[in-house]
Chain A
Amino acid sequence: MGTTAGMTTKVWVLAFACSSSVVTAAPKAKPDKKAAIAQLTIALDGVDDEAAAKAADELGDSTDPAAHEALLDGLAFGLRVPVAVQALTALAKHPAPPDVSSLKRYATHHNPTVRGSALNALALYPDPIAHAAVVQGLHDPAGVVRTSAASAAAKAHVREAIEPLFALLARGEEPAARALAAMADADLVRKLGDQLGKVPDASLALCLGLVLRRPDFGPDAERVEVVRAIGKITDRSAVNALTDYIDATPKNPPRASRAEAEKMVEARLGGAK
């Protein structure tokens, strides 16, 4: 049975501590720093949610492994919703492999906000378990969680998420369009172009339009392909996407993709732009 009880926390933190010492060679904590972490730990486990959330935030800022351990221990023992949200974000400020189990546990919490925070945090972990949790988040009944999962998938470039993102795109989910746009390479753009007629025009136009506006996407020949793919969309949203691209792109140096976009917009609007 795959469980994530708190009993493994110390092992994780030990591993975190080891990795920190190798990578960052963190100095030993001074006694006053330890006392501060102890105070924050007490606050984290206290009944005052506001103070506990603040403590979680401060523990997350700390590079001291003890602070990280305190967060993991707090999460393992169970935190109230507002505190958990903060603690999950804080934990991911200094990601360590052992965090994944704890984050995954909260990624299925009954509270959607907590789930969303856990998924956002999991985006920072290049771990198959983390990726699987993100993909699972795309299936979540709560829209806010799917949004977080889509964002996490994009941030972590989770390839396994592409298929469910396409499924969400077909349902007109904007976060999926944004995630796919963020992840798209030339190959994915071609696949997106193939979705014409299978997904809502507006979603496809938004997605391809966002690809077009990505500064890291190119070379320009590929952008031309994107423009042409948008040109096949008959919905008004296609013109908007192209117009946004024209507006966001300087005339000089001239770009074939921009010129192509202008031609299409003129053709659509009959020169009325």
Chain B
Amino acid sequence: MIRALVLALVLAACGGPVFHLTSPDNDRSALTAALAHRNLPEQPAPLNASRTPRVFILAGGPTKQLIAYDLQRGAILWKQNADVQSRIWVGGNFIVEREHDQLVARDQQTGTVTWQTEIPGELVGATADADHAYVAYKENGSTWWLAGYDGASGKRLWKVDADGTLGAPMAHGGIVYVPYNQQWLSLVDGKTGAIAARIRGIDEGISMLRVTSKVAFYGSKQGVFRLDDRSASGKRAESSYAQVKVPPQLDKTTYGRDIYDPVQNAYTAIERARILYAAPAEGMQLDAYAVHYFRFVFGFDKTGALVWAYSNPRVELVASEDTGAAILAVSQTGNLVALDPANGAVRLDQNIVQAGSILGATFDADGWSPPAQGEKTETVAALVAIARDHDARFDRVKELAVQALAKLPGGEVTQELLGVLADTRAPQHLKDVVVDLLVARKDPASLSVLTAQLAAHDDFLLQTQPLALGPVAKAIAGLGGAKLDPAAVSAALVALQSHLDAPTTQVADLVFVIDAMAAIGGGKERPALGSHLLLYHADDDLGSDAAWGRAIVLALENHGGPGERELLRQVAADPRTKPDLVTIIRDALAND
């Protein structure tokens, strides 16, 4: 501590702006001292003075409403009409927010205004801790300031200037983290405004900050650092650093809000695409993480494999937080959702606010979770709901969902994937993905489901059409070589032959039907395929189709015996056989 104060004095003695380029940085002992100076709880806990888990909600509508909700009691603490134009920052006994050009503090128990003060310039960001509020602002277009206020009275206690860009600060147990010029993070004493330590990101910029009751994180869109002694290195390799795998379908996701974007001082859609993670006991090896993506939350293991999913019905989740014990979220319609971070089980889904559309929320609930009551994990249902969702904005998310579904075994999943193919409103690209997944799936348990899908035929009276015949046949062909139930194979062959023989089966589908029969038939398919070849070998349409010719000839040549090869020779010798087909047969038999 003494060393930190000495550093602060040295910095102050230099004259000129407090935040400037040439200040010392990455001093490990100064950093250690500054971190030790923080007054943090022993266990994760809410910041507010009563240590009660709360969420502060901003509701839109003709008149905006500020709502405090007690998560522990499950009751609204208070509601106040207020034209709030920022996010809500939580202190000990108070909250602060912006209303027009004023920084407004409200009593956390009642919501009444306790003080307000004019923001002296353009708001860069604000924050609060148990006893203080802090504001970063820009004055005259070129000077940045950080000011500290007494949380009880609103009296300004100090202000310090910067010769470069400041980002939105975050307070943490008496220390204020202040981003500077995209590359530095200063640790400022909340009581005096003196810089206690400074980190310089050497191989990664600093544009993101996140604080829980015990741990602070910083980083950029590329990755996230845990703020600890190792941060003094300024380098990823020597710091507690994590980069999680985010599927490309969730490409807008970030580790936290951009502290240099003043727009993000308010609740924006950026809050809805967020990586959620809890601090490990030490270091930054994340065993699991989640991604909140608008209406959805996906859970991943440390390898980046998707392990669970949650789909919020109809409306987006506007705010989310990993408390370490639960993933909490608030929906646009005022539902509070609590998920088990390990498996996505829904511990709570309850409407807590009946107001206009919810604009955003700030959680003060670190370490809190509603009690687990043996909830069921509904990942398959969630993935299915996502895949079947008709919201065109999430077409890529649907891809992710079907990819995750396809990795799960069982006929039920296959049935759901086929449901996507049957959905007339599903985008074609998604259907293409599903087809590829069905083919790659190679799940023997799915054969009967795939066979059932073949039941529909082109029927004038029943007004039915085959449903995704080609893809289904392709998927069945993918099961070639797998250990299959003989009864299921027989049923599949009957169903496939019904399409082989059907008058209206398109050539493109016919090719897949032939492939499928050959792949799983084990010889039982040969008479049907032989008969089919004979029926159409001289046909002007089919007989001249190269794809059909290759499929039927190779099916008989590769999977057939001497009898089939003799049949092929006879067909090739028939003067009526289409020349292209003759060529295909001769090529196929060339090595005989």
Contact = CB atoms under 8 A, between A and B. Distances in A.
Interface of A: 1-6, 45-47, 76-81, 105-106, 108-112, 115, 138-142, 145-146, 164, 167-168
Nearest to A170: B461
Contacts of B575: 46-47
Contact of A1 (B459, B503, B527, B542): B527
B576 interface: yes
A105 B503 CA distance: 10
Nearest to B517: A1
Contacts of B503: 108-110, 112, 115, 140-142, 145
Given A1-B497, A80-B540, A110-B542, A6 B534 contact: yes
Q: Which 4 pairs between the two chains have the least Cβ-Cβ distance?
A: A3-B527, A78-B534, A5-B531, A139-B459
B541 interface: yes
A139 B460 contact: yes
12 contacts: A3-B528, A5-B531, A78-B538, A80-B576, A105-B531, A110-B503, A115-B503, A139-B462, A140-B503, A141-B460, A142-B503, A164-B461
B531 A3 contact: yes
Interface of B: 458-462, 493-494, 497, 501-504, 524-525, 527-528, 530-531, 533-542, 574-576
Contacts of A106: 535
Given A3-B527, A5-B527, A110-B504, 6 more contacts: A46-B576, A105-B535, A110-B539, A138-B461, A164-B461, A168-B461
A2 to B, nearest CB: 8
B531 A141 contact: no
B524 A5 contact: no
Nearest to B538: A80
B534 A110 contact: no
Contact of B539 (A76, A81, A112, A167): A81
A108 B534 contact: no
B493 A1 contact: yes
A106 B574 CA distance: 20
Interface centre among B493, B539, B541 (most CB of A within 10 A): B539
Contact of A47 (B461, B524, B535, B576): B576
B501 A108 contact: yes
Contacts of A168: 461
Contacts of A77: 534, 574
Contacts of B542: 110
Contacts of B462: 139
A5 B529 CA distance: 9
A178 B219 CA distance: 81
A3 B504 CA distance: 19
A4 B536 contact: no
Nearest to B563: A7
Nearest to B501: A108
A141 B503 CA distance: 9
A45 B576 CA distance: 8
Contacts of B501: 105, 108
B306 to A, nearest CB: 41
B528 A76 contact: no
Contacts of A138: 461
A76 B533 CA distance: 11
A138 B504 CA distance: 14
A145 B502 CA distance: 13
Contact of B460 (A5, A79, A140): A140
A46 B538 CA distance: 11
A259 B461 CA distance: 39
B295 to A, nearest CB: 41
A139 B493 CA distance: 23
Given A78-B538, A140-B460, A4 B576 contact: no
A45 B573 CA distance: 12
Given A110-B536, A141-B504, A5 B530 contact: yes
Contacts of A164: 461
A155 to B, nearest CB: 20
Given A79-B538, A108-B501, A139 B461 contact: yes
Contact of B461 (A5, A115, A145, A167): A167
Contacts of B538: 78-80
A81 B537 CA distance: 11
B534 A5 contact: yes
B172 to A, nearest CB: 71
Nearest to B460: A141
A81 B540 contact: yes
Interface centre among B460, B504, B524, B540 (most CB of A within 10 A): B460
Contacts of A6: 531, 534
B547 to A, nearest CB: 15
A73 B461 CA distance: 34
A138 B459 CA distance: 9
Contacts of A145: 503
B567 to A, nearest CB: 9
B460 A76 contact: no
A61 to B, nearest CB: 23
A164 B458 CA distance: 15
A178 B503 CA distance: 25
A109 B460 contact: no
A4 B500 CA distance: 13
Contacts of B460: 139-141, 146
A139 B459 CA distance: 5
A118 to B, nearest CB: 11
A128 B536 CA distance: 27
Contacts of A141: 458-460, 503-504
A225 B142 CA distance: 101
B527 A78 contact: no
Interface centre among A3, A140, A168 (most CB of B within 10 A): A3
Nearest to B533: A78
A141 B494 CA distance: 22
B521 to A, nearest CB: 9
Nearest to B530: A5
A80 B461 contact: no
Contacts of B461: 138-139, 164, 167-168
Nearest to B536: A78
A130 B462 CA distance: 21
Nearest to A3: B527
